[in-house]
Amino acid sequence: MPIDQTVFRTAMSRLGAAVNVVTTDGPAGRYGIVVSAVCSVTDSPPTVLVCVSRSSGANAVLKENGVLAINILAGRHRDLSIAIAKAAAHERFASGDWTTMETGAPVLDDAAVALDCHVSSVSEVGSHSVFFAEVDAIKVHDEVDGLVWFDRDYQRLQSTASTRV
């Protein structure tokens, strides 16, 4: 029996996920997009995956540039995430302080974590492209808090010493 798309989307909205800004720069230009579909694949070699809609303007740019940075947002970045999601492509880097690491992809200076990567392969699945990317450099911010997308809204996570395992 086929699964109703609306029911599936509602179910997935209950799967909390980190809020990330995925960026790229290169021959196809500079681009940034807010995504929650990011996860680690393996630590040998360090590899992550990012899912991007084929209809997104970022899709072709990421493929042509072959590099990306995953900027994992902290709780303090809620407004930045909203600004990037709503801005025209050429205005997405107006908010925040940006730098680069190894690949030249833009890295948010105060991101909770920044993963600077090169794309190792891309798979097409349904409406999305799944980018597999090997990590070339990592920057971890000292403050420990997070921004999660859950039930179609932002939620801030704060860590305390008593909650760490």
CATH number of the domain that 97 lies in?
2.30.110.10
The parent domain of residue 14 ranges over 5-38+58-118+138-163
Residue 24 forms part of a structural domain: yes
pLDDT of res. 159: 78
- How far is CA 146 from each of CA 38, 143, 149, rounded to the nearest angstrom? 14, 9, 10
pLDDT of res. 161: 57
Round to whole Å and give the CA distance between 116 and 68.
Answer: 6
- The verdict on whether omega for the bond into residue 2 sits within 30 degrees of 0, i.e. cis, is no
Residue 126 forms part of a structural domain: no
Cβ-based neighbour number of residue 110 at 10 Å: 16
Tens-digit pLDDT profile for the chain (165 aa)? 899 999 999 998 988 999 999 999 999 999 999 999 999 999 999 999 999 999 999 999 999 999 999 999 999 999 999 999 999 988 999 999 999 999 999 999 999 999 999 999 999 999 999 999 999 999 999 888 999 999 999 999 987 755 554
